[in-house]
Amino acid sequence: MKIDHSKGLFFSATIAVLLLTFFSIFYRFQNRPTLAMAEKDAKSIFSGAVSNNLSEKYLYGGKATSKELYIKKIKKNLLNGLVLSNSLIYKNHQYKKKQVLDKIAERIYRLEFKNRQVKIESVSLNNFHTVTVDYKVRQIILSKVLDKLSASSEKDLAAAEKQTSISDLNQSQIAFLQYILISIHWDKYFSEYNAASWSKSSFQMIFDPKKKHYLISKKTLQSIQTSEIKNGE
């Protein structure tokens, strides 16, 4: 009896193709992102972004801006158009410009990244690779914050001038004294600030099949972090 080897080879090849197709489909669906996965990653990414504490595993396209660099930028803005005295004795304590600016910059940093009022509203699967996250955020208008702090410090300024080591303060010393008062009484002054309204925004996440979780770009991170933070209106 003659054995038909061609039929056996054809059958084996067919089985191999079917198995390959099956495992390809199985692998694809096994690694396909779910809404639950997207919601979990969105929560981790969003909370990390708005607190400037995002894990590097969720980021591509560059590193996040460090706290030190943000503090440096804030201090630069605080000095914009102002000439401050390098030091001043107030209530028998000597205050240095760097010390006072560091303290105010730290409070502004916390306002932007630690005490920000934010909330995720929805997470939507667009397709296999991308997700849209809708959120709302409370506006921060920095010029209004600083204007309110300055206006509040004005109420204490006349009395404070009498408690310095210099009887007749020049303009740079008066400006520095105001910053000293703001650094000391931030909580009191800021409590008088009326927060701005809520705004809505969104960002996109991209799924990485190798890492099996979602990522955002550095540009997206910066967009989230500066969302509705304005220097003025």
Task: Give the number of other Cβ atoms within 10 Å of residue 229's Cβ.
Answer: 15
Give the per-residue pLDDT at 23.
46
> How confident is the prediction for the chain on average, in pLDDT?
87
Alpha-helical regions (H) of 31-131: 35-50, 67-78, 97-113
CA–CA distance, 198 with 12 (Å, rounded to integer): 64
pLDDT at 56 over 60: yes
Give the per-residue pLDDT at 31.
58
Give the per-residue pLDDT at 96.
97
DSSP code per residue over 127-157: SSSEEEEEEEEE-EEHHHHHHHHHHHHHHHH
Give the per-residue pLDDT at 193.
72
pLDDT in tens, 126-176: 987 899 999 999 888 888 888 889 999 999 999 999 999 888 899 999 999
pLDDT in tens, 209-229: 999 999 999 999 999 999 888
CA–CA distance, 98 with 73 (Å, rounded to integer): 14
More confident residue, 127 or 187: 187
Phi (first) and psi of residue 136, to 5 degrees: -125, 150
Closest alpha carbon to 123 in 57, 222, 37: 37
pLDDT in tens, 189-207: 988 777 778 999 999 999 9
Kindly list the domain boundaries of the chain, sorted by start residue. Answer: 1-30, 35-230
pTM, rounded to two decimals: 0.80
Share of the chain above pLDDT 70, in %: 85
Give the per-residue pLDDT at 15.
62
CA–CA distance, 200 with 193 (Å, rounded to integer): 22
